[in-house]
């Protein structure tokens, strides 16, 4: 028994030697020189980018650009009026697009095959054709329908009704509705089906449940893409210049047609577009943070 206990408590003869060798190895490793890895691909890419940026800067510096005209026309009345028209068209077209998108998304999720077919056809048609083509079709609608109205009650000439403003609003808003419907549908599908069943179990109608329970939960999925669509709509309004809507790019073109300061006026328009998009991007980030915080609290309670 004594010998057995002595054997169990005894250390191997070479254990101390291994410990000394390990300590020596650690000391040798500690004295090794640390060599940083060199990323030559990154260095070359960075150098190429710097050279290209420098070349672009030199081109603008030595180009035929009168910078004083940029500052002069930045606050020109025609440019500011165009900026206001751009903002108005953005807000109205997005409002129309969101309204149509919500209605179309609900139709897509309906059990009625007719509603589903109409919604799918709408999305297919307006997502499958260019926006500029749709704008031109709306603007030239009088060639297909010379008059609008109800026979026997009232009729108006289409050319008198379909102004550049209305044609731009319908073209941009209806096109936006097709894209927004997919965003809203994805948000509605992200809500657990148990929420629908719970609303149905307490006697809620389908539309009432959508408004009070489903849509509020889907907003955290819907809001970020809608914010991106809003930013895109600001720039998309420039296409309305082809139908003579007096938005910012159209007014800038009218000015440089008269004074031949093409680059200067285009830079003025670009500065204002960047300013509006920057403000909207900041607002979008705040709204996204708000809904993300709400989602975090909800997951924490679960």
Q: Output the DSSP codes for 187-244.
A: HHHHS-HHHHHHHHHTT--HHHHIIIIIHHHHHHHHHHHHHHHHHHHHHHGGGGGGGT
Residues of the chain with pLDDT under 50: 1-11, 13, 20, 297-302
Which pLDDT score is estimated for 230?
Answer: 94
- Confidence at residue 271, expressed as pLDDT on a 0 to 100 scale: 95
pLDDT of 12 reads 52
- Give the pLDDT confidence score for residue 104 in this predicted structure: 95
Residue 150, strand partner residues: 154
Q: Give Cα separations from 255 to 63, 84, 200, 275 (angstroms).
A: 20, 17, 60, 21
Identify the pLDDT of residue 77: 94
Ordered domains of the chain (ranges, CATH): 2-57 (no CATH), 70-296 (1.10.3720.10)
pLDDT digits (tens, 9 = 90+) for 178-214: 999 999 998 888 887 777 778 777 877 777 777 778 8
Distance CA 79, CA 30 (A): 67
Query: Can you read off the two tokens belonging to residue 197?
Result: 């069943």
Q: Taking a C-beta distance cutoff of 8 angstroms, is the pair 295, 249 a contact?
A: no
């Amino acid at each position: 028994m004594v010998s057995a206990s002595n054997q169990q408590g005894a250390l191997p003869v070479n254990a101390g030697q291994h410990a000394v060798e390990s300590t020596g190895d650690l000391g040798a490793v500690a004295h090794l020189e640390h060599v940083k890895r060199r990323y030559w691909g990154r260095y070359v890419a960075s150098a190429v980018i710097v050279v290209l940026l420098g070349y672009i800067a030199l081109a603008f510096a030595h180009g035929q650009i009168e910078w004083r005209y940029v500052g002069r026309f930045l606050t020109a009345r025609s440019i500011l009026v165009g900026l206001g028209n751009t903002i108005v068209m953005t807000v109205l077209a997005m409002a129309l697009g969101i309204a149509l998108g919500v209605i179309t998304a609900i139709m897509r999720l309906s059990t009625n095959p007719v509603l589903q077919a109409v919604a799918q056809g709408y999305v297919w048609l307006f997502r499958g054709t260019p926006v500029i083509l749709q704008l031109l079709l709306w603007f030239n609608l009088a060639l297909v329908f010379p008059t609008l109205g109800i026979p026997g009650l009232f009729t108006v000439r289409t050319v008198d009704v379909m102004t550049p403003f209305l044609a731009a609003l319908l073209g941009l808003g209806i096109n936006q509705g097709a894209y927004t419907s997919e965003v809203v549908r994805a948000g509605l599908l992200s809500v657990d089906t148990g929420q629908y069943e719970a609303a149905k179990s307490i006697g809620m109608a389908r539309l009432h449940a959508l408004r009070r329970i489903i849509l509020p939960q889907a907003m955290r999925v819907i809001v970020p893409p809608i914010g991106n669509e809003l930013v895109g709509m600001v720039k998309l309004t420039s296409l309305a210049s082809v139908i003579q809507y007096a938005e910012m790019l159209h007014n800038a073109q009218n000015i440089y047609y008269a004074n031949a300061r093409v680059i200067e006026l285009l830079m003025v328009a670009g500065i204002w577009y960047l300013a509006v998009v920057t403000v909207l991007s900041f607002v979008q980030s705040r709204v996204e943070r708000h809904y993300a915080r709400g989602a975090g609290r909800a997951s924490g309670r679960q």
